Amino acid sequence: MAVLAVENGRRQFDYWLTVYKRTWKGSLVSSFLLPLLYLAAMGIGLGSFVDDNGTGALGGVSYLQFIAPGLLAATALQIGVAESTYPVMGGIRWHKTYFSMIATPLRPADVMYGQLAFIAFRVLTTCAVFVAVIAAFGGLKSAWGVLGLPVALLVGLAVSAPVCAYATTLDNDSGFAMVFRFGVIPAFLFSGAFFPVSQLPNWIEWLAYLSPLWHGVELSRDLSLGTVELLPALGNIAYLSAWFGIGTWLAVRALTRRLIS
């Protein structure tokens, strides 16, 4: 049964990859150019002013080296959410490709696994380019920083799985505004990507720790700066894995109800 599920999921991934080959040019700006502009503007432009005024609050590293791992994790979150909202609703409401898929021997679970596999592909390819640019700009203080790529992948999956579950329950796309306004934007601003969350008021600081992005930023930054510690790292990985595991279970359950009922 497990082998069959893997094979069915692979076939779904092949479908999404074929679609992406025809549309990939439309994602160049949002997936590759905007993160690079963020890195240049914040890490180099603003970073020069921050560095001139001292970097004691950042642990003595340059602002570019501080912000780059955070932007990597934030990019993974944005790609994961983007690929888990409108594409999922399109498969249910607009193009109805999900219904065509389950008319074959594929199960709703296979459809969701294939969707998540494609999201993993999108996150991995986009963040791989970002890591290469960060390294070229001198944003990685330690060689361990390249391991920020699998961390970014885990962040993308940790947020995309529950968002897929949510998208499956909607009848129109108006609910996505809440995801971006009350989920993505606050997480992006208050995850520690741009400044240490210890500088936030106490009640907001503890809310930041609940965000999967904070755990991704923390782990990616520790790897990049060469300051990673085993137990905190394992805790961050476990937290992100829990989001992905529970989110996947919810997504499969919701999609099965939507397609079968």
pLDDT in tens, 172-203: 888 999 999 888 988 888 888 888 888 888 87
pLDDT in tens, 139-176: 888 888 899 999 999 999 999 999 999 999 998 888 99
How remote is the C-alpha of 201 from its chain's centroid? 26
d(CA 76, CA 121): 11
d(CA 234, CA 243): 14
Q: Please say whether the dihedral angle defined by the alpha carbons of residues 212, 218, 222 and 224, taken in this order, is positive or negative.
A: positive
Say if residues 68 and 39 touch (Cβ distance below 8 Å).
Answer: yes
d(CA 41, CA 38): 5
Say if residues 211 and 187 touch (Cβ distance below 8 Å).
Answer: yes
Q: Closest by alpha carbon to 76, among 246, 251, 215?
A: 215
* DSSP 8-state symbol, 228: -
pLDDT in tens, 105-141: 888 998 999 899 999 999 999 999 889 888 888 888 8
Q: What confidence score (pLDDT) does residue 46 get? A: 67
Q: Closest by alpha carbon to 62, among 88, 44, 82, 39?
A: 44
More confident residue, 69 or 52: 69
Expressed as residue numbers, the domain containing 112 is 2-260
d(CA 223, CA 258): 41
Say if residues 131 and 215 touch (Cβ distance below 8 Å).
Answer: no
Find tokens 């400044």 and name the residue: 195
Q: Please say whether the dihedral angle defined by the alpha carbons of residues 174, 210, 222 and 153, taken in this order, is positive or negative.
A: negative
pLDDT in tens, 68-85: 898 899 999 999 999 999
Number of domains observed in the structure of the chain: 1
Q: What confidence score (pLDDT) does residue 56 get? A: 59
Q: What confidence score (pLDDT) does residue 163 get? A: 97
